[in-house]
Amino acid sequence: MRLLLAGIVVMLTPELIAGSRVGVYLDFDQPASRTATAAMQKEAADALRLQGFDIAWRMVAENQGDEVFERLVVVKFTGACASEGFLRPTREILVLGTTEVSSGQVLPYSQVHCDEVRRLLPAFEFATDRSRGDVGLGRAFGRVLAHELYHVLMGTTHHSSAGLAKAIQSTDDLKSDEFFFDQTDWPVAQTSDMSSARRTAPPANRAVSP
């Protein structure tokens, strides 16, 4: 069952989190831009590294089942993850990413909706220099991905009022030169008691034009 993020906080100590190696398996609906994928991986890895996670990128299609990771996440990318210059822009609020939840447990299966990100960022989608457009889009994909990985790695539906863990990100957030997690997000989630943390989160990881 896919919910837009309803679940409970899993108690994780900083010791468990620090230096944790995470295998993130990517599964693209359509061939993705290499430039956008590289920018996405850098953006997400940088954000998670600041929280003590070391991400190893893998493709689902190339998985031989012979690697072991402390944590493993599978991420499906819908739509075309590249600047193609034809998706109609919108100012609607769109769902950019989701993570699976079952029986109150956050599962390690997420989705990033590339077409929706492209529709919110016409400056990149219609960039004259396609490579620059892909870099900008890739960075935005990476921010959506980092948000979903936060839910999975923390086992939480918690959202914050600032940074990458916000439930709704503006197009300025997605486009800005730097946008990371608010440093209070992770310690709060790690030390929350179950009663205060057990709650239903609003639909998550959406974006809205300013």
Residues that bind Zn ion in the complex, under the rule CB under 5 A: 204-205
Nearer to Zn ion, 171 or 205 (CB): 205
Q: Kindly state the smallest distance separating residue 99's Cβ from Zn ion, in Å.
A: 7
Nearer to Zn ion, 79 or 97 (CB): 97
Query: 196 to each of 51, 83, 153, 199, how far by Cα in Å?
Result: 23, 42, 19, 8
Helix H or strand E encompassing 97:
strand 97-102
Nearer to Zn ion, 138 or 163 (CB): 163
Compute the radius of gyration of the chain from its Cα atoms.
16
Q: Kindly state the smallest distance separating residue 112's Cβ from Zn ion, in Å.
A: 12
d(C-alpha 169, C-alpha 204), whole Å: 9
Residues 6+ away with beta carbon under 8 Å from 207: 93, 94, 96, 116, 117, 120, 168, 169, 170, 171, 173, 174
Q: Kindly state the smallest distance separating residue 92's Cβ from Zn ion, in Å.
A: 18
Q: Which residue is nearest to Zn ion (CB)?
A: 204
Q: Kindly state the smallest distance separating residue 205's Cβ from Zn ion, in Å.
A: 4
In sequence order, the β-bridge partners of residue 101 are: 106
Nearer to Zn ion, 26 or 204 (CB): 204
Q: Kindly state the smallest distance separating residue 170's Cβ from Zn ion, in Å.
A: 15
∠ at Cα 47 (46, 49), nearest 5°?
65
Nearer to Zn ion, 75 or 135 (CB): 75
Under 8 Å between Cβ of 191 and 17: no
